[in-house]
Structure 1
């Protein structure tokens, strides 16, 4: 919400990908007057029902590693950021992440403070899940909501959001890897633009 204030925007079309889904969903749930539409891509929203079958085998291995007590993951990763991040980018995209973008991402996550900031997102997941469950007991998303799934999360996001959204659309991009903005930028832009153009500003 602070970003909207800094940009002097009363409301915006909000898009969240992967871990960006958590703040995007929280903004739409807690401040619906600031969100014209919500699009969530390739993410499971902690605490919301609907993704039980997707999570039946447990979360990905790195969730537990990143959630380890503060300091452990940072100590293990120090000096190996480039190799570790390239592993995830290489597995997350079928098209391939451009080298200049890869280097920028590596720089952003290099160093103890940057690693700590990255891993704290995972450590906050239990608290986020409790808040989301509490909100879902009484809340609904009244603004238009769109779920975009690809090869990794598939329809899990849609199965969550359809339970709490009044105006819901689902799009599946089976030929895209997890990093949909890289693998399917044209499709993503088209989905977001079409949804935004259909929304009447209050």
Structure 2
């Protein structure tokens, strides 16, 4: 099913949003937040499975990715603004709360929403990135995680990172997907981040990054992590459980790397559906 297109106004411009509508009676709405260097299309396979089970999936091209929302000031990419954008989408839908699904940087925004706005998050499914406090602790104390995140130093260099990642037809951006994502889907992602303006908007998320300290998470949460993820090590992934006060499920996936929504969309969809079904079950 082809998604519908909508727009959402935010203080710095307009977000482009994809909406996959539920087939049959609607059971709820999933707000799906993409990562780097991707686009809302990373959720296409997952959304196809969820809509057949009665869920609507709404996936914005986030700040910096949407062509109408690329502020120049790096400070405009602080996570408080990114989470406010996500809530603006929920508000436009006329909903008090939604099921939140996030991958990579989208997972970071999802964690922030659940930590600071739990009343807006019915359930949380996060993919790849651990609880932000534990990720920060791993970056500070775990040599393995520091090595895995060494690329942050390049990404935070304004101008140089764009030059390196865009040269030779954006070869290095394409190589990040390591053949785990179809060429057609990579091309769709690069429609947003394959230009200098789009890539700068996406990299500004890294440039605005700071140490994030979150409260414990009280909403029902599932965290999926690929054991072969080159960017996220075991330390933060396993320590995430210590930050949960609500019902929690940790799903480590063997023979799976960073691009879980594309590599294992059936697993992602099943975990979201399990959260939705648990929320709908009588107390």
Whether 1:184 aligns to 2:184 is no
Aligned mates of 1:98, 1:49 — CA distance in 2: 29
Deviations 1:79-120 (A, max 9, x none): 4453122100116x2xxx222111111221122211111111
Q: How many residues align?
A: 189
**Once the 2 structures are TM-superposed, how far is the Cα of residue 55 of structure 1 from its aligned partner?**
3.9
The equivalent residue for 1:72 is 160
In the superposition, relative to structure 1, how do residues 30 and 23 fare at CA in structure 2: closer, same or farther (>3 Å)?
same
CA RMSD of aligned residues (A): 2.5
- Extract unaligned runs of 5+ from structure 1: none
Aligned mates of 1:38, 1:116 — CA distance in 2: 29
Runs of 4+ in 1 over 6 A off after TM superposition: none
Whether 1:145 aligns to 2:210 is no
Structure 2 counterpart of 1:114, from 198, 201, 210: 198
Q: Normalising to structure 2: TM-score of the pair?
A: 0.60
Aligned mates of 1:72, 1:85 — CA distance in 2: 14
**Does the CA contact (< 8 Å) of 1:147 and 1:171 recur in 2?**
yes
In the superposition, relative to structure 1, how do residues 51 and 156 fare at CA in structure 2: closer, same or farther (>3 Å)?
farther
Taking the TM superposition and a 5 Å limit, the aligned residue runs for 1:73-112 are 73-80=161-168, 82-90=170-178, 93=180, 97-112=181-196
In the superposition, relative to structure 1, how do residues 67 and 50 fare at CA in structure 2: closer, same or farther (>3 Å)?
closer
**Does the CA contact (< 8 Å) of 1:39 and 1:147 recur in 2?**
yes
Aligned mates of 2:182, 2:135 — CA distance in 1: 36
Q: Normalising to structure 1: TM-score of the pair?
A: 0.82
Aligned mates of 1:51, 1:184 — CA distance in 2: 28
Aligned mates of 1:49, 1:17 — CA distance in 2: 14
In the superposition, relative to structure 1, how do residues 26 and 162 fare at CA in structure 2: closer, same or farther (>3 Å)?
same
Structure 2 counterpart of 1:4, from 67, 87, 90: 90
Name which of structure 1's ranges 146-155 and 32-41 shifts more when overlaid on structure 2.
Answer: 146-155
